[in-house]
């Protein structure tokens, strides 16, 4: 009988379901890292919320672990690459707590508008300070959403009921979906400039970390009120403290903090700050939803091999898996490449397979492309749920199959349709299993898409390669590999550099300022 450990506080329904399905279960809450590492080896499954941190070190001791179930959405407490490397499936419950979290954001917005916590404390202290607590109405105010996915779109729906004007910045939001949601799609700068209330609903990724920075806060309207029920690292907390103290930001309601549990934080005690201890998902309804869902999904997997909402595993039969594996790795890298490079809203995506790839089940290849593509924007995407999410968001997905071989024995081409037209990338397998990019936006180029990379478009002119090499070398960035392609002599050239470390913003700026450079972007695979 498989054995599961529940290591975070979870609704009793989870344990009930495990037992009813024939899975042995222990509930041990509040284990230290060392204690968890000591006992994890006994378990086939681990069910968590956000307190348990599943680190590579703990995974080292997890000799029997097959599945980790996150009763919730964000999986930043689970080291997914380490779990994948160990063959451990990671599942989450992407929708079970979205309504509850959206409601918390709305509650925070009301609390800010009417200073409810301060007014309550003052009244209960017998002060009756009626004139001190002058509020603002929400009606006709502009609510700016950063992130209009599941939670953001529920917040938008509720805000419409409050007669607010909703604007959003979300690079993945198409115009069609925005119209459907009644949201005006804007740039990030415009969102900062126009919002009376600003609320965050994105995962914490390299792109979103510190998105509400000191510079961003300087662009906001005086008197803006900010709500964060997503992840702490999205806001520069020190800059927010300064902006609250100066009165530029009239209030901030935070459910999440850069360091959690936030038993101490420099923001505490700042005028205008309202805080809750990561309560976004804490309603009995949401906790029952996620507990039932996580237990059912984990039991399905442990007892029958069924896979739902896995973040690191495609749904595949045992026979297909080994043949498809290298194609899926290639497909995911190509999807990720276009996801990282396509700045504008993508309306559609086509996945074309040719030669040997056309003899295989195309669904997992499509799933892998979509997982790579959407993984650039969200941390809840996997090969199983990516096609569903793409449909939900109005993304037109096309699959094309050519059985004939072209120049390569096998080829996968991924094309995205944006407002600027169609852009495509293509790749093949070298030696049957080594994924290789062979074409990038119409330019022939051969490259491994691996680790940290730098994408540079420049005017093809003598001396450029030397200049970029010197600039990166002077900044201590080692170039591991160099891939060059060009449209035609004297036209644009594309460089894909494999670098040994992530290239930080100041170095990126130096590269950007080199003569002839048109575009520079970091990529990560
Ligand atoms: N406070 C709490 O208890 C809870 C917090 N959360 C947090 O809320 C986050 C959002 O959850 P969902 O809406 O379900 O996720 P989702 O994946 O449905 O939506 C995230 C949205 O963010 C957008 N996005 C990604 N990168 C962006 C960027 N650079 N700028 C602007 N938008 C960007 C995506 O396109 C997507 O539409 C989760 O990642 C989780 O961290 C979720 C549940 C409870
Ligand atoms: O489980 C919790 O209380 C936190 C929920 C959360 O942050 C999430 O689902 O991403």
For ligand 2, say whether the CB of 97 is within 6 Å of any of its atoms.
yes
For ligand 2, say whether the CB of 438 is within 6 Å of any of its atoms.
no
Catalytic residue among 70, 104, 225, 278: 278
Examine the domain organization and report whether 7 and 86 are in the same domain: yes
CATH code: domain of residue 325: 3.30.1330.90
Ligand nearest to the CA of 52: 2
For ligand 1, say whether the CB of 256 is within 6 Å of any of its atoms.
yes
Examine the domain organization and report whether 153 and 218 are in the same domain: yes
Beta carbons within 10 angstroms of residue 252's beta carbon: 26
Name residue 3's beta-bridge partners. 24
Q: Which is nearest to 120 in space by CA: 135, 64, 128?
A: 128
Which stretch of DSSP H or E encloses residue 399? strand 396-402
For ligand 2, say whether the CB of 202 is within 6 Å of any of its atoms.
no
Domain end point (choices 449, 481, 502)? 449
Structure token digits, residue 108:
């925070």
Examine the domain organization and report whether 175 and 270 are in the same domain: yes
Of ligand 1's listed atoms, the one at least distance from the Cα of 280 is 3
* Residue 231 falls in the annotated catalytic set: yes
Beta carbons within 10 angstroms of residue 21's beta carbon: 17
pLDDT of residue 307: 76
Examine the domain organization and report whether 27 and 168 are in the same domain: no
pLDDT of residue 489: 60
> How many angstroms is it from 11 CA to the middle of ligand 2?
13
For ligand 2, say whether the CB of 50 is within 6 Å of any of its atoms.
yes
Q: Is residue 310 part of a domain?
A: no
Q: Is residue 392 part of a domain?
A: yes
> How many angstroms is it from 109 CA to the middle of ligand 2?
19
Examine the domain organization and report whether 241 and 161 are in the same domain: yes
- Which distant-in-sequence residues (6+ apart) come within 8 Å of 73 by Cβ? 92, 93, 94, 97, 98, 101, 150, 151, 281, 380
Which residue has its alpha carbon closest to ligand 2 atom 7? 74
Examine the domain organization and report whether 353 and 437 are in the same domain: yes
Which residue has its alpha carbon closest to ligand 1 atom 40? 74
For ligand 1, say whether the CB of 251 is within 6 Å of any of its atoms.
no
Residue 140 backbone class (left: φ over 0; alpha: ψ -120 to 50; beta: rest):
left
Beta carbons within 10 angstroms of residue 478's beta carbon: 10
The whole-angstrom separation of Cα 368 and Cα 325 is 10
pLDDT of residue 321: 64
Examine the domain organization and report whether 241 and 352 are in the same domain: no
For ligand 1, say whether the CB of 148 is within 6 Å of any of its atoms.
yes
Of ligand 2's listed atoms, the one at least distance from the Cα of 73 is 9
Catalytic residue among 49, 225, 231, 413: 231
Which residue has its alpha carbon closest to ligand 2 atom 10? 74
For ligand 1, say whether the CB of 281 is within 6 Å of any of its atoms.
yes
The residue assigned the tokens 């170039």 is 479
For ligand 1, say whether the CB of 201 is within 6 Å of any of its atoms.
yes
CATH code: domain of residue 114: 3.40.50.720
Examine the domain organization and report whether 478 and 511 are in the same domain: yes
The whole-angstrom separation of Cα 241 and Cα 89 is 40
Q: Is residue 201 part of a domain?
A: yes
* Residue 409 falls in the annotated catalytic set: no
Examine the domain organization and report whether 212 and 106 are in the same domain: yes
Domain end point (choices 449, 474, 497)? 449
Q: Is residue 24 part of a domain?
A: yes
> How many angstroms is it from 331 CA to the middle of ligand 1?
24
Domain end point (choices 449, 478, 494)? 449
> How many angstroms is it from 97 CA to the middle of ligand 2?
8
Q: List the pLDDT tens digit at each of the 525 positions of the chain.
A: 999 999 999 999 999 999 999 999 999 999 999 999 999 999 999 999 999 999 999 999 999 999 999 999 999 999 988 887 677 889 999 999 999 999 999 999 999 999 999 999 999 999 999 999 999 999 999 999 999 999 999 999 999 999 999 999 999 999 999 999 999 999 999 999 999 999 999 999 889 999 999 999 999 999 999 999 999 999 999 999 999 999 999 999 999 999 999 999 999 999 999 999 999 999 999 999 999 999 999 998 898 767 788 887 755 555 666 788 899 999 999 999 999 998 667 889 999 999 999 999 888 899 899 989 988 777 657 665 676 678 777 889 999 999 888 889 999 999 999 888 899 999 999 987 899 999 999 999 999 999 999 999 998 888 888 999 999 999 999 999 999 998 766 678 999 999 998 899 999 999 999 998 999 999 999
Examine the domain organization and report whether 296 and 321 are in the same domain: no
Of ligand 2's listed atoms, the one at least distance from the Cα of 75 is 10
* Residue 278 falls in the annotated catalytic set: yes
> How many angstroms is it from 216 CA to the middle of ligand 1?
19
Q: Is residue 311 part of a domain?
A: no
DSSP character string of 111-156: HHHHTHHHHHHHHHTT---TTT------TTPEEEEE--SHHHHHHH
Q: Is residue 388 part of a domain?
A: yes
Domain interval for residue 333:
316-449
Task: State how many domains the chain has.
Answer: 4
pTM value?
Answer: 0.73
> How many angstroms is it from 231 CA to the middle of ligand 2?
10
> How many angstroms is it from 53 CA to the middle of ligand 2?
13
Which residue has its alpha carbon closest to ligand 1 atom 39? 203
Q: Is residue 203 part of a domain?
A: yes
Q: Is residue 280 part of a domain?
A: no
Examine the domain organization and report whether 370 and 247 are in the same domain: no
CATH code: domain of residue 459: 3.30.70.260
Examine the domain organization and report whether 126 and 242 are in the same domain: yes
Q: Which is nearest to 53 in space by CA: 38, 33, 35, 83?
A: 33
The whole-angstrom separation of Cα 133 and Cα 491 is 63
> How many angstroms is it from 176 CA to the middle of ligand 1?
20
For ligand 2, say whether the CB of 293 is within 6 Å of any of its atoms.
no
């Amino acid at each position: 009988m498989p054995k599961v450990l529940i290591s975070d506080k979870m609704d009793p329904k989870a344990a009930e379901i495990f037992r009813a399905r024939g899975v042995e279960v222990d509930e041990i809450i509040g284990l230290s890292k060392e204690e968890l590492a000591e006992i994890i080896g006994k378990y086939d499954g681990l069910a968590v919320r956000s307190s348990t941190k599943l680190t590579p070190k703990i995974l080292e001791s997890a000799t029997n672990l097959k599945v980790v179930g996150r009763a919730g959405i964000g999986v930043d407490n689970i080291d997914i690459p380490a779990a994948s490397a160990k063959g451990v499936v990671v599942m989450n419950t992407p929708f079970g707590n979205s309504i509850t979290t959206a409601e918390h954001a709305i509650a925070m917005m009301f609390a800010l508008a009417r200073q409810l916590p301060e007014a309550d404390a003052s009244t209960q202290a017998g002060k009756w300070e009626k004139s001190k607590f002058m509020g603002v109405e929400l009606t006709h105010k502009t609510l700016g959403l950063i992130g209009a996915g599941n939670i953001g779109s529920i917040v938008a729906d509720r805000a419409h009921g409050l007669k607010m004007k909703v604007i959003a910045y979300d690079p993945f939001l198409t115009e069609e979906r925005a119209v459907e949601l009644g949201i005006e799609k804007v740039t990030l700068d415009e969102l900062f400039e126009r919002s009376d209330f600003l609320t965050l609903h994105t995962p914490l990724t390299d792109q979103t970390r510190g998105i509400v920075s000191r510079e961003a806060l300087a662009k906001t309207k005086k008197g803006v009120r900010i709500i964060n029920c997503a992840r702490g690292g999205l806001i520069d907390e020190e800059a927010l403290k300064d902006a609250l103290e100066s009165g530029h930001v009239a209030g901030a309601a935070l459910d999440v903090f850069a360091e959690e549990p936030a038993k101490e934080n420099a923001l505490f005690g700042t005028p205008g700050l309202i805080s809750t201890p990561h309560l976004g998902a804490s309603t009995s309804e949401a906790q029952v939803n996620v507990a039932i869902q996580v237990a059912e999904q984990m039991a399905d997997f442990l007892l029958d091999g069924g896979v739902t909402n896995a973040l690191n595993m495609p749904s595949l039969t045992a026979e297909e898996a080994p043949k498809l594996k290298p194609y899926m790795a290639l497909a995911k890298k190509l999807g990720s490449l276009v996801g990282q490079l396509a700045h504008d809203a993508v309306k559609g995506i086509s996945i074309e397979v040719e030669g040997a790839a056309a003899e295989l089940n195309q669904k997992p290849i499509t799933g892998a492309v979509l997982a790579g593509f959407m993984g650039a924007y969200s941390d809840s995407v996997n090969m199983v749920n990516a096609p569903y999410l793409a449909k939900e968001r109005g993304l037109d997905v096309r699959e094309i199959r050519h059985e004939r071989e072209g120049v390569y024995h096998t080829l996968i081409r991924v094309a995205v349709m944006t407002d600027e037209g169609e852009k495509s990338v293509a790749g093949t397998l070298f030696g049957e299993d080594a994924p290789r990019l062979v074409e990038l936006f119409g330019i022939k180029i051969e490259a491994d898409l691996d680790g940290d990379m730098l994408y540079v478009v420049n005017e093809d002119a003598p001396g450029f390669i030397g200049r970029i090499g010197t600039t990166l070398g002077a900044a201590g960035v080692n170039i591991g590999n160099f891939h060059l392609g060009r449209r035609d002599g004297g036209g644009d050239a594309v460089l894909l550099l494999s670098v040994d470390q992530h290239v930080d913003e100041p170095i990126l700026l130096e590269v950007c300022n080199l003569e002839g450079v048109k575009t520079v972007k970091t990529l990560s695979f």
